[in-house]
Amino acid sequence: MEFISNYPWYYTLLCLVAGFVFSAMLYVRDKQNAERSKVLLYSLAALRFVSISLIAILLLDIFIKRLVNETEKPVIILAQDNSSSILASKDSTKLKNEYTKALTSFINNVKDKYDIKSYRFDSESKASETFDFKGKETDISKLFSDIENNYANKNIGAIILATDGIYNKGTNPLYSIEKFNAPIYTIALGDTIPLKDVWIQTINHNQVAYLGNSFPVEVVVNAIDLKDKSVSVSVSQNGKVLKTENLTINSNAFSTTLNYLLEANKPGIQKYTVAISYLNEDKNIQNNTQSFIIDVIDNREKVLILANAPHPDIAALEQSISAPQTYEVEVALINEFSKPLKPYSLVIIHQVNNIPQRINNELKANNQSVFYIGTNTGSSAKTLFSSKNNDAEGVYQKEFSLFTLSDELKNYIKDFPAVATPFRNGAVANGANILIAQKIGVVETEDPLLLFTEINGVKTAQFLGDGIWKWRMRDYADHNNHNLFNELISKTVQYLSVKADKSFFRVFTKKIINENEAIDFTAEVYNQSYVLVTEPDVTLILKDNKNKTYNYTFNKKQTMYGLSAGQFPTGEYSYEAKVKYGDKLYTKAGIIIIKEIVSEKINTVANHQLLFQISKQSGGKLFYENQLEQLQKEILASDSIKSITYSHKQLTDLVNLKWLFFVILAFLSIEWFLRKYNGKV
């Protein structure tokens, strides 16, 4: 033990001197005490000396430094799978009752020796000693990640993982166990024997379709031990059967893919259901039905390409813009085009030296975005560049911030082949954002190759080169696809074609969410100057398909509003948000679809081999649900699960020692009692 102070050592001596002087003046030099007993006077003086000295010493901010030994009990982490597949076995009732009781008994028998931490997990993990087996997904790797984060530098003696080994979210848990030094004991639940079953494995479909178009749907159907049986598969919407076909199961390990082409004939969010007819031999009918949701958009954005003459650039642009089916592309020669421009979200003008006055007038009147492409397209191009051309490669500009590109595309831009660009003849306009600059030979210049401007809310882009089709060909040659070139063009077109929302009240939320996700809203309110405000209250009414309503008020944040309505059962919900600002009432309404998660219904065959590998690789053992007593004996007898005693230095402020306070109080109290008893008070 060591005393530490911020003051020199002689300050302590001064405290003792102060105590001595004070007590001497009070008891020794006072002439009224001459007739008193010397023993009494010296006793009172000693008591006062000690009290005053201790009080003075406490003012010196003295710390006691000492070495403290602490013993930490080993932590046993018990993680119970809470997903619904646990109850899919034939002994689910026994598992839910007897196993739960046995697990509670196990915890009670080992908690005196170890620090037991109980968790339940499905798609997320949570500290809990109760289980309801209602989880919709299983992510074992997420559990291991949470344990690592929560118990870093802790004395983990062992991890007990009770699960059926089925995971349908996250990565293979075998990749996550190397970070632990503790053994992992697994409790194998569920049934490894496949039941006779026919089920829908997955449904592949687009998230978006366009009104009046057809969209493909791919249904994967699997079956086990039902050879020579026949079932019917149907696709329906709102109870109306759209497609149906008979299917003969020709093997005991059967799998097939069914392809359908459905019509998008109604706008909005549409729900479709795929169903397999029931067989008496089918032991799990929960996975015979699966629904999927399509957002049908009533019209596609239209993009117009006006060209001076046919050119390979035009075909490259048309194919890339049309690839995601988000845009409808029309190509025309500019001197032959006579339609109005207003229906088009974006006009692309390719290699046109003299744009007809009618086209220019309509573009200005409609405030339409324009994408100029070529070495002599657009009036600004003619003022900035001469008629002489140069060969230039592209260099991505890190300062660009109008929209984001993938890291792969940013790094690949320099590998696109050179295109013909005009010599520069002037300065780039103020406010221009350059996405790609020119590289001539080995020199990286500040001259733009692809730049964007916005004047009075009208967006414009210019690609100041000829031969952009070469970029698409190079992308395919290097990657066997056009993904990077398509990304560049689609991001450019999307930025130019999106119209700014000028409403004073805006509400944002997802249209389609999973049942294990919360419904979250954000809202923005603007004043007449389009400055964000948060003074008024924003309310929201959420209504389910049974007309039950839920009322909410948004939380105010610095520049916006937020609301988390929580989780809701599957189904269709409508919402209406309102805000009154000034004398005007603004409303926003919409539809939300909460879709069911069927992952736990598809695969119900336990994977005990995975659990065996986890235990073996970590130095643990595998036990079955009826072997909890053996697991208890193994845990209690283990020599590797030990308490840890460690030493550390501890600083304690002298003034925080409670016993010292009581010592001073006792001395002062004794002094007061003796003085009173002897007539001094």
Please tell me what DSSP assigns to residue 427: P
Which CATH architecture group holds 197-297? Sandwich (2.60)
Query: What is the distance between the terminal CA atoms of the chain, rounded to a whole angstrom?
Result: 41
**How confident is the model over 28-70, as pLDDT tens digits?**
666 566 566 777 777 878 888 888 888 888 878 777 777 777 7
Q: Please list the residue range(s) of the chain that carry CATH number 2.60.40.1930.
A: 505-595
Q: For 218-264, how does the pLDDT look when each residue is reduced to its tens digit (9 = 90+)?
A: 999 999 999 999 999 999 998 899 999 999 999 999 999 999 999 98
pLDDT at 380: 43
For 132, 293, 336, 391, 657, the CA distances from 82, given in Å and listed in that order, are 6, 27, 67, 63, 48
Tokens linked to 174: 């075998």
Phi, psi of 439 (to 5 degrees): -120, 115
- Tokens standing for residue 666: 């006792």
| Assigned CATH topology for domain 74-190+607-637 | Rossmann fold (3.40.50)
The DSSP bridge pattern shows strands 327-333 and 301-307 to be: parallel
% of the chain with per-residue pLDDT over 70: 94
Residue 141 is predicted with a pLDDT of 93
pLDDT above 50: residue 381: no
Residue 46's pLDDT is 86
**Do residues 100 and 130 lie in contact, with contact meaning Cβ atoms separated by under 8 Å?**
no
Among 233-247, 284-298, 310-324, 366-380, the minimum mean pLDDT is found in 366-380
What's the topology of domain 505-595?
A: Immunoglobulin-like (2.60.40)
Q: What CATH class does 301-497 carry? A: alpha beta
- String of DSSP letters for 504-536: SEEEE--SEEETTS--EEEEEEE-TT--EE--S
3-state secondary structure of 621: coil
For residue 384, give both structure tokens. 């900035």
CA distance 420 to 374: 9
Strands 156-163 and 184-188, sheet pairing: parallel
DSSP code, position 288: G
Long-range own/partner contacts, residues 669-672 (CB < 8 A, 24 or more apart): 670/47, 671/44, 671/47, 671/48, 671/51
Is residue 612 scored above 90 in pLDDT?
yes
- pLDDT above 60: residue 379: no
- Helices 312-322, 483-497: inter-axial angle, 10-degree rounding: 80
Which CA distances in Å does 339 have to 52, 359, 541?
Answer: 102, 10, 45
Say which amino acid occupies 477: A
Average pLDDT score over residue span 126-153: 90
* pLDDT tens-place string over residues 623-643: 998 899 999 999 998 888 888
The residue whose two tokens read 């079955």 is: 624
CA distance 382 to 372: 12
Q: What confidence category does residue 320 fall into, taking pLDDT thresholds of 50, 70 and 90?
A: very high
Residue 257 phi/psi, 5-degree rounding, is -120, 125
Q: How many helices (H) and strands (E) does the chain have?
A: 15, 36
DSSP assignment letter at 405: -
- 519-545 pLDDT per residue, tens: 999 999 999 888 899 999 999 999 998
The HSE-up count of residue 195 (CA atoms within 13 Å, CB side) is 23
Q: Between helices 10-27 and 38-58, what is the axis angle to 10°?
A: 150
Range from 82-91, 125-134, 137-146 carrying the lowest mean pLDDT? 82-91
Q: CATH 2.60.40.10 residue ranges in the chain?
A: 197-297
- Measured CA to CA, the distance from residue 541 to residue 538 in angstroms comes to 11
**How would residue 378 be classed by pLDDT, with cut points 50, 70 and 90?**
low
pLDDT per position as a tens digit, 651-676: 777 777 788 888 888 888 887 887 77
What is residue 501's predicted lDDT score, i.e. its pLDDT?
A: 73
Length of the chain: 681
Band (382; pLDDT cuts 50, 70, 90): very low
Let me know the angle formed at the C-alpha of 656 by 650 and 660, rounded to the nearest 5 degrees.
Answer: 110
The label of the residue with tokens 């990286």 reads: 444
Share of residues in the chain with pLDDT > 90 (%): 50
